[in-house]
Structure formats: structure tokens, C-alpha cells
């Protein structure tokens, strides 16, 4: 049986091709898998479980149909949809995982993460991440008026895009030392994450052990998926 991993879909009504591609993916390839893991940024932004637009409701309904068929779906917060909560899980049937999480797949223990906490060279982003992941921030944010939430989300997306263009590529990528510390902490040799939008399988050695860092791609021009079956992990692209 095959376990599937995807990340960084950034689904939004402005990109209907990606949404349609994801809905087809659920009905076709994912329907026959053992489990589906979505490692963050399923949505372009998420301002709260109670503030849903028609597009988001369509995605949740598709996930609900998918999970009711018997296939397990696990979701992790990304840097764009870190406000996904209990209501989303109830309505979609997905299980929310902490970041990072240790799982067992393909006969080995694998550390999975969205990946943004590993980008330690991006100091300003790490400060921002610490603030918005604080439960006190989430409580305060939930009490804001809808229009104000929408305005904040738009400003955050614009600032994020501008910052991404100005920062050197190496700062936006994960820090190798942070990766090695995580592998050592969890005593594993394989890590799987998204966030950087740079799909690849990196092999290196740590404490005389062979290690792998598998990176998922995004769903902008095509869909990135990792299939993990008996023959090991394989990255693939899906056409919309």
C-alpha cells in the first residue's frame, strides 16, 4: 500500500486550476492510498474556522467525502494556515498533527514537518512565527471583526511576497544544523518537509549514519506529491 504526502498547495479561489487538481487527486490517486499527509499550507491563508468562503467550504466538503470513504487524512499547520482548528477537523474528518511529528512509514521512523521552523537563518520570520503561534495571539485574533482579519491577511501576504523577493535564497532555505539537531533529537535518519518549495531528496551523513531530507514542492504550476510504497519514497509531479 502507498502513503501519500503533499504540502504547500496554497489553495485559493484565485487559482481554480490548483483547487480542481486537488479535488481530482482526492477522488483518483489518493482514494487508493493507506494515508494522506498534508504538511502545511493547504490554503493560501486561513483567518479562522468560522470565517469560511464558498471556495474553502468546497475543499472541506471534498476532504469530508474523502475521509468518510475510510482513508485517513492528517493535516499540519503551515505558515499561511496556522489558524486551522478543531472545527476544521470535525468538518473535514482530518486529524491535526503537531509540528514536528514522528511517524512510521515504509518500515522506518520518519520525522515530518511543515519545515518553516528549520529556517533559522531567517531571524525576522522566526520572530514573527513565535508571535503568531502563541495561543494568546490566536485568542486575541479570533475576537477581531471579519473585515479587519481579511485586511490583516492581505497585508501579511503582500509583506511575505516582498520579503521573499528581497532575501537571499540561502536565508529562505532550511538551516542544515537545525536539520541535524532535529534528526538527533528524535533519533531518526529521515526527515520530510515542505515550505521551501524546492522538491528534492538530499542525502548526507550524520554521526556516521546515512541520512535523508526529503522536500516536497508546491502546487503552483503543477502538483508535487511524494509516494511512499514498498520501493521507498518517490517524488512525482501531477498535471492540473
Domain housing 123: 3-238
- pLDDT of 154 reads 75
93 has pLDDT over 90? yes
- pLDDT of 146 reads 81
76 has pLDDT over 80? yes
DSSP assignment, residue 11? B
Chain CA centroid to CA 238, Å: 17
Q: Can you tell me the mean pLDDT for 171-187?
A: 95
Confidence of residue 168 (pLDDT cuts 50, 70, 90): confident
Count of structural domains within the chain: 1
What is the overall mean pLDDT for the chain?
92
183 has pLDDT over 90? yes
* CB-based burial, 160-175: b 16+ in 10 Å, e otherwise: eeeeeeeeeeeebbbe
Residue partners of 166: CB distance under 8 A and separation at least 6: none
* CA dist., res. 129 & res. 7, Å (int): 18
Whether residue 32 contacts residue 229, with contact meaning beta carbons closer than 8 Å, is answered with no
111 DSSP β-pair partners? 102, 191
Q: Can you tell me the mean pLDDT for 167-177?
A: 85
Query: What pTM did the predictor assign?
Result: 0.94
* CA dist., res. 188 & res. 101, Å (int): 12
- pLDDT of 161 reads 62
Render pLDDT for 192-232 as a digit per residue (tens, 0 to 9): 999 999 999 999 999 999 999 999 999 999 999 999 998 89
Q: Which of 36-40, 69-73, 166-170 has the lowest mean pLDDT?
A: 166-170
Render pLDDT for 144-162 as a digit per residue (tens, 0 to 9): 888 877 777 777 776 666 5
Q: Are strands 101-105 and 200-206 parallel, antiparallel or unpaired?
A: unpaired
Q: Can you tell me the mean pLDDT for 89-104?
A: 98
Residue partners of 69: CB distance under 8 A and separation at least 6: 31
Q: Can you tell me the mean pLDDT for 30-55?
A: 94
Q: Can you tell me the mean pLDDT for 169-186?
A: 93
Confidence of residue 43 (pLDDT cuts 50, 70, 90): very high
Q: Please report, for the domain that includes residue 53, its CATH number.
A: 3.60.21.10
Amino acid at each position: 500500500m502507498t502513503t501519500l504526502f503533499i504540502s504547500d498547495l496554497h489553495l485559493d479561489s484565485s487559482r481554480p486550476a490548483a483547487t480542481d487538481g486537488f479535488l481530482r487527486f482526492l477522488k483518483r490517486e489518493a482514494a487508493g492510498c493507506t494515508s494522506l499527509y498534508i504538511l502545511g499550507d493547504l490554503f493560501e491563508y486561513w483567518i479562522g474556522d468560522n470565517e469560511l468562503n464558498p471556495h474553502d467550504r468546497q475543499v472541506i466538503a471534498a476532504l469530508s467525502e474523502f475521509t468518510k470513504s475510510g482513508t485517513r487524512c492528517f493535516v499540519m499547520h503551515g505558515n499561511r494556515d496556522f489558524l486551522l482548528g478543531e472545527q476544521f477537523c470535525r468538518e473535514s474528518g482530518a486529524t491535526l498533527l503537531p509540528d514536528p511529528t514522528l511517524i512510521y512509514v515504509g518500515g522506518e521512523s520518519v520525522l515530518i514537518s511543515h519545515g518553516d521552523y528549520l529556517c533559522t537563518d531567517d531571524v525576522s520570520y522566526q520572530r514573527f512565527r513565535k508571535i503568531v503561534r502563541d495561543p494568546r495571539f490566536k485568542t486575541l485574533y479570533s475576537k477581531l471583526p471579519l473585515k479587519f482579519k481579511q485586511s490583516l491577511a492581505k497585508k501579511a501576504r503582500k509583506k511575505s511576497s516582498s520579503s521573499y523577493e528581497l532575501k537571499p535564497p540561502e536565508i529562505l532555505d532550511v538551516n542544515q544544523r537545525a536539520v541535524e539537531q532535529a534528526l538527533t533529537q528524535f533519533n531518526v535518519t529521515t526527515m520530510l518537509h515542505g515550505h521551501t518549495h524546492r522538491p528534492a531528496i538530499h542525502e548526507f551523513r550524520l554521526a556516521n549514519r546515512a541520512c535523508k531530507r526529503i522536500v516536497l514542492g508546491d502546487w503552483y504550476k503543477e502538483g508535487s506529491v511524494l509516494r511512499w510504497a514498498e520501493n521507498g519514497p518517490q517524488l512525482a509531479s501531477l498535471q492540473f
